[in-house]
Structures are given as structure tokens and as C-alpha cells.
Chains A and B, each alone.
Chain A
């Protein structure tokens, strides 16, 4: 008979502290409002989180490789506006691949600057945040973009459709999470990313082409952003130019909440998904509890800090640990 020793439990906690934190919040919100765990509500929250989530998957790759991507919010606005505009000009079947190609080109450009010119990713993507916003505004002329004939197109299937009762955004989020999670954990490509982010010099001496790995991570990120833009455009069938504004920080928060290190070399797709869900359920839970919204900003921060603390404390095996 297998018995759980104290060590086993400790080991589990150390690996999955963030899961424990997640479970605690879910219990707390459920006690505060019984409807929190309604299947409709849970489904709704995951569907709303799917857009942020898809972006966070890509940024996880970039962060593990030891870099940052602050451009994902404005890049998502770009993808959304472009696909909506092209929808009416070319039809959805051409608009979608065209938008993906353009977004991937932006990702390739960033990957080139960071990977091959070895520029600081913070500066490059902070600059791109502004530049891509400008590109979006130039494209749209500052006007909101709306699909003219909303009833006569199948384009809404990505954002509003359902398969076997499960919303398509959730399915796409899951599919991407499983695919990218497997790529990261089980393939040589994934191991190279950890190596590059963990110890670049050692990676070079092991014959890993660092520039190409970093470049690929930005391509993955751009692909995820394009998918998020598609979901966003299809969900609302129209958009403001600023739809993704500020999302870069929420995405980064989800990734860090999931335990990825900003120094690179650590993090998993599974934990990023948990980070995304924590953010989504906090927002929804606070709305259901009905706190005044000025208070919500503060409470959101408190919960995030608590989650990070629980995660770190579980890893260290103690709550109190001053800088020595």
C-alpha cells in the first residue's frame, strides 16, 4: 500500500503551490456567491479568458527564452483591425491567412532585432508597442472597424460558435495549449528554449543556434497573437483600435503568476494556463461579489501578491524568508 509521506506532500506543494492558491480563491469566491461555480458562469469566464490565454501561451515561450514581449497588446489590436477590414474587402477565407501572414511578419521582425541584432527585447518590444499602434491607426484611419453584413458571414464561428456545447474559443485555447505545451516539454525545440533562457553561454557551447531559437519564440508569440486577434474580431464582429491596449501587462502577469521566471529558463504552459484562469476568475468573482470598483483594483493586486507568495513559499518550504 502506498502511503503519502510528509515529504511527498511537501514535494507536491513545492511543485504545485500555484494550484493550491487557485483552489483557495475558488473556494473563497464560491462561499461569497453561490453562483460563482454555475457551469454557465465558469464556461463564460474561460471563454472570456481564452483571448488573454492564447496570447499568454506565446509570451511563455518568449519569457522562457529569457526575453520579453510587450508588443502583444498592440499587435493584437493590429490583427483584429486588419482581419475585420480585410473581411469586407476579400472575404473571410482570404482575410484570415492574410492577417496571419502580416502578424507573423511583425513577429519575425521583432525576432530578427532581438535574435540576430541582439538588441534588448524590452526596448525593442516597448518601441514596437507604439509603432504597431501607429500602424493600426494608419490602416484604419482611426475609425472603428465593423463587419458590414454581420448576418451573412460564417466569420463569427471562431468567437461565438460551439462544438458539442463547448465554445470554440475555449477549444482553440485548449488545442493551442496542448500543442504548445507538448512542443515545449517533449521536443528538442522545447529543450533548446529552456537551455537558451537558462544559460545562454552553455547553450552556445552545446551547439544550439541561440539566435534561431529566440527568433522562433517570437514567431510562436506572433502566431498566438494572430489567433487571439481572430477570436477577438469574431467575438465582437467589430472593434476599436485600442482593443488590445494594456493587455501586454495582463498577459505578463498571467505568465509570471504561473511561475515563469523573468530571468528565463523556467516556466510551463500548464502553469501559465492556471495563471490565466486565476486572473479571469478574480475579475469575474469580484464582479459577482459586487465590491465597489475602486476597491476592486486594490483587491486584485492583493490576490495576485498572495498567489505569488503562496507559490514561492511552497517552493521554499517556508512562509518567512527575508533577503539574507
Chain B
């Protein structure tokens, strides 16, 4: 039987799964420099550092996701594990290079919006709270008379 040329690769960011399927190779930045993993790698656990991760997907999962050829993802700190030929990469954040500017701009926009919303909502809330407490004290003051 021929040696496997692909292996199971799972790349997880804290808020989404980047890839889960077969792959031909993956290379990524670690504390020990750039490391490449092919099929049949020995068991290892390494620390991933921020940089660019590249992988070559294969098989059905890649076809399903419409991926072909070399893919690159910008990753942050994390962990790489190869266990019995299966590779798992856990990273805090992972973004495709073409998404980075957009993602950053979007985050900035979201943040600004959030701030604005928060300021408004806190002001509204303070008003509502004052109104409610006024209403409640009025109700309290008049309550004995309402009991029939």
C-alpha cells in the first residue's frame, strides 16, 4: 500500500473554523521558525506565533469550500498539534490576507457604532430609569387609596 499523501487538517480560530478536511501540506510560523508539515509527521506539539500560515487543501472538504491551490491565512498566537498523523491548529485569530484591511475597517466601524449606541442607550436608560422611579413613587404614594 502506498503511503498516504494527504492528512487530516483542522484549523480553528477562536470564533470560527477556518478549515476542516484533507490537506497535502501546511506551513506555519512557530517559536522555532517556520515549520512545514506533510503527511505522516511524527507526534508533536508546538507554539504558534503571529505570522502567515499556508496550506494546500485536498479532497472533498476543499471542493465543498471551493478552495484550490495554496491558501494563506494570517494567524495570531496559538498551538499546533500533530497526533497520529492528524494535524490540529488552534489560533486566537485567523484572517485571510485579502480580508484583513476590510476586517480591520469593519471592526473600527463596529467599535464606533457601539460607542455611539452605548452613549445613547445609557442616556435613554437614565431617562427611563428616572421616569420609572417617579412613576413608582407616585404609585406608591397613591396606592392605599386604590385598595378597594
**Same complex origin of A and B:** no
Residues on A lying within 8 angstroms of B by beta carbon are none
